[in-house]
Amino acid sequence: MRWKSLLLVSIMLLLVSSRAVRAVELSEDVLAKKREGWFPTGVPIVLYNSDDGFGYGARVLFFNNGKKEDKWFRYTPYFYSITVQGYATTLGLQYHFIEADMPYFLGTELRIRTSVVYEKKLNANFFGIGSDSNATLADRDGNTYDSYAQYSDEFLVATPEECGRENCAYTNFKYDKYTILRPKFYLNLYRNVWDVGRVLAGFEIKHVDVIPWDGETFSIKGEDYTSGPTRLSTLPGDPAEDYDGWVNQVKLGFGYDTRDFEPDPTRGIYIDYTLSIGTRFLGSDFDFTRSTFGARYYVSPVNHLTFALRAAYTTTTGNIPFHELGNFAYLLQTQAGLGNNRTLRGYKSNRFIGDTMTDANAEIRWRFAGAAFGGQTFAFKLLALCDTGSVFDDALEPLTVWNGYHFGFGGGLIVAWNQSFIVHFIYGRSSEDSSMSIDVNYAF
């Protein structure tokens, strides 16, 4: 009954705050090619990033475009999209889901997106929290290292001669790792306000199990090793018990969007704000709030050349578990940070996490070639990037503290298939580490 009440309140919020709505018609070219009724499609998945290794899987999609006489046929690419994915990587990530996207749900002006997700990560990263994680890489004895390569060679995979005791090879290998299992269900309701506004109300139900590697056995090259104490053991309490449980939250937000083409924009502004509230009233074991703000700007001074900029800020209050800190919870998606292929490239995933985080990104995207064959179109772009970000212990520190920022630089290749399907090949480099990503979509 509680969840039904929450859903009813969410729908009422959308109806009250979005009374004036204008829909934009699809172009005549798109309408001419648009199919009617149900049809399936599918793609194999072969991806890679430095944290998770190579990933393999498949994604099957079912679309229902409706009929030409339907009221909203000219305003939406489809009425129902159902996606089923199975995906696993060589370094222990599993990410499987069933998702439904339903614009103009049951003939109304509401859009509903809902999903059931199973996620398990054998080797999630944990390098500390807040200003502690801002510091140079350090081992359990306080020794510091100039680069991740040095840290790995001299501490994570140290030989008995290097660490000064017998049988120590690989005992530190899992020092920055833990296993996390977090199946979840979410339901979000959206509605457009005029041509450029969007409002959101929704909720997420998630159960988290944290499994430390301390004292556990793992294998490398066919040999078994036992992990020593990990960085997770420095947290207050028992990581295997005190950070498990339900992390249920409600989300409210709004956005302003003038981008010319959402999957691959060349002009426009996109600004959004999202408030996430976790509370025991919703069945959560943790009470917290998160505010996330993002602003993106795209400009093309000449044909085929686009400058893309993003600035983001997120802050939390309350009793939030450490595994929820490393998120930028935007209106349309949640991105992990800071680190890896979406926020601070050139660093490990979740290298820096804290109660308050900032992120800024700049990209230059140059379309240098295009091709069309077999009824398919392709655009090829070179990309140069610069990222920066930091974490703070207080919500207002970003206004006064400027000496803790980290920088990443890099570049790569973008392939746009039929305009909307974006594949990236990106290399990032920082003073500490490097990263490689073969994945879909831009970072922003």
Q: What's the pLDDT at 402?
A: 85
At 254, the pLDDT band (50, 70, 90 cuts) reads very high
Average pLDDT over residues 299-327: 95
Tokens of 255: 């956005």
Q: What is the mean pLDDT of residues 181-191?
A: 94
Answer whether CATH 2.40.160 is correct for domain 2-23+109-440: yes
Residue bearing tokens 């001299």:
154
What mean pLDDT is predicted for residues 340-348? 93
Q: Which of 203-212, 307-316, 326-335, 371-380 is least confident?
A: 371-380
Does pLDDT of 12 surpass 80?
no
- Confirm if 55 and 44 have CB atoms less than 8 A apart: no
What local confidence, expressed as pLDDT, does residue 417 receive?
83
Which one has a higher pLDDT value, 84 or 167?
A: 84
pLDDT confidence of 33, banded at 50, 70, 90? Answer: low
Whether pLDDT at 166 is above 60? no
Q: Check residues 311 and 63 and name the one with the higher pLDDT.
A: 311
* pLDDT single digits (tens) 402-428: 888 999 999 999 998 877 788 999 999
Q: Is residue 123 over pLDDT 60?
A: yes
CA distance 281 to 216: 36
pLDDT at position 431, please? 94
Judged against a pLDDT cut of 50, whether residue 13 lies above it is answered with no
Whether 14 shows a pLDDT value over 70: the answer reads no
What per-residue confidence (pLDDT) applies to 160?
53
Q: Which two tokens stand for residue 243?
A: 């950070």
Mean pLDDT of the chain: 87
The answer on pLDDT for 93 being more than 90 is: yes
The residue with greater pLDDT, 185 or 221, is 185
Question: 18 pLDDT exceeds 70?
Answer: no
Q: 434 vs 375, which has greater pLDDT? A: 434
- Residue 15 binned pLDDT confidence (cut-offs 50, 70, 90): very low
pLDDT value for 162: 53
Residue 341 has pLDDT above 80, yes or no: yes
Mean per-residue pLDDT for 384-398?
94
In the prediction, which pLDDT does 2 show? 45
Residue 161 has pLDDT above 60, yes or no: no
Mean pLDDT of 186-199: 87
Q: What is the pLDDT of residue 242?
A: 87
Question: Residue 16: what pLDDT?
Answer: 45
Report residue 26's pLDDT band, with 50, 70 and 90 as the boundaries: low
> What pLDDT, on the 0 to 100 scale, is given for residue 433?
96
Question: Average pLDDT, stretch 263-275?
Answer: 93
| pLDDT band (50, 70, 90) for residue 245 | very high
Task: Mention every residue, 6+ apart, whose C-beta is less than 8 A from residue 429.
Answer: 346, 408, 409, 410
Evaluate if residue 140 carries a pLDDT over 60: yes
Spell out the domain ranges in the chain.
2-23+109-440
